[in-house]
Amino acid sequence: MSKIPSDDPYLARIGRRYFERLNEVLVDRFPEISPINVPEKGTLADFYPAVQNLSIKNDLPGLGIEFGYRIRVSDYGVVGLATASTSCLAEAIETQMRFLTILTVAEKLAKRLTQKNKLMELAIKQSTVTESLDRFLIESELAAQLRFIGDLLPTEKPSTCTLHLPYSCPTSPQHYESLLGCRVMFRQSEAKVTFPASWMDKSLQTSDKLLSPLLAERCQSIVARMEVAVDWVMRVRNYLLISGKVMQGLGATADALDIPIHTLRWRLYKNGTSYKKITHDVRMQLACQYLEDTHLTLQQIGYQLGYSQPSNFQLAFKRYFDIPPAQWRLSERHFSDQK
């Protein structure tokens, strides 16, 4: 995960807007769920773990779709301004994809744009959609893409677009189609949005030839600063927290973070730690979340965290916190009841 420069007012605003949009969804669609308390800074680094915790506690079908479709171009801060100032939709999408790292903390969340006959396909590359966060990311990215195109080309009909999702419909497909205004297909081979290829050359009403290169330069400087400011210990830790892949080896994580394995090992060493220690810390943090926020048994939690035997998990937890997990759960719930 890229470290967001705290002194950038445009970039810092994105995470907070995401929290606001998510709470709008909870109020309107899931009123039984309390809105999320937005952290003081409310960065993207705070947002995705908050979504993960929310998904663990509650069954919220279509949350990603509902959230993504509420994202407006203006919510993207300086990247939104940069895309809206381009001359046509093709340039806007290219600009958006070029600065994707500013808009999301999801590692390896890449977009692929191709043309097939008279349709453009904008697909999301991902490895799995079995985890709630993966599904949220896919739904929110594609729904936001539909809204992005609609904001830039307000006179075009969304009914000519199609949303493809690689899993079964969690709720009524009519609800998705009513919300998005386009056809929605489930159990597809990949996650993608299709729209008429002729739209790519459509001029944008918000185009500004003088401002566009200046905004693109501003975005590029933010990306450069993010790359310089990367904290690799935090990046590995947040990747494991967000993906939940705590059983994954160093090689697979290095590949996901797009860095040579020996380079990652050395950078962690220079920061006084190791991949083994980070994964253990993350396992214990997730264990606390599961103990406090779910009704999973100790055996189920241990299995989720990669322990083959419940006793191994309980021993590791006690060594880490000096208290057995069952006792920790009781004390935390007692403390919460006293609040």
Task: Please answer whether residues 166 and 191 qualify as being in contact, where contact means their C-beta atoms are separated by less than 8 angstroms.
Answer: yes
Give the pLDDT confidence score for residue 99 in this predicted structure: 85
Q: Which of 16-30, 99-113, 186-200, 228-242 has the lowest mean pLDDT?
A: 99-113
Q: Where are the alpha helices (DSSP H) in the chain?
A: 9-29, 44-57, 63-68, 78-84, 89-98, 100-103, 132-152, 173-180, 211-228, 232-243, 250-256, 261-270, 275-293, 298-304, 310-321, 325-338
Spatial separation of the C-alpha atoms in residues 285 and 305, rounded to whole Å = 10
Q: What is the pLDDT of residue 128?
A: 44
Q: Measured between alpha carbons, how far is 275 from 280 in angstroms, rounded to an integer?
A: 9
The order of strands in the sheet holding 183-185 is 110-116, 119-125, 191-196, 162-164, 183-185
Model confidence pLDDT, tens digit, residues 156-167? 999 999 999 988
Question: Given this model, what pLDDT does residue 82 score?
Answer: 95
All domains in the chain, ordered by first residue? 9-223 (no CATH), 232-338 (1.10.10.60)
Inform me whether the pLDDT recorded for 147 exceeds 80: yes
Query: 3-state class of 191 per DSSP?
Result: strand
* Number of other residues whose CB lies within 10 A of the CB of residue 173: 14
Residue 280 to residue 270: CA distance in whole angstroms: 19
Per DSSP, the three-state class of 111 is strand
| Model confidence at 276: pLDDT above 80 | yes
Q: What's residue 12's pLDDT?
A: 61
* pLDDT level of residue 6 (50, 70, 90 thresholds): very low
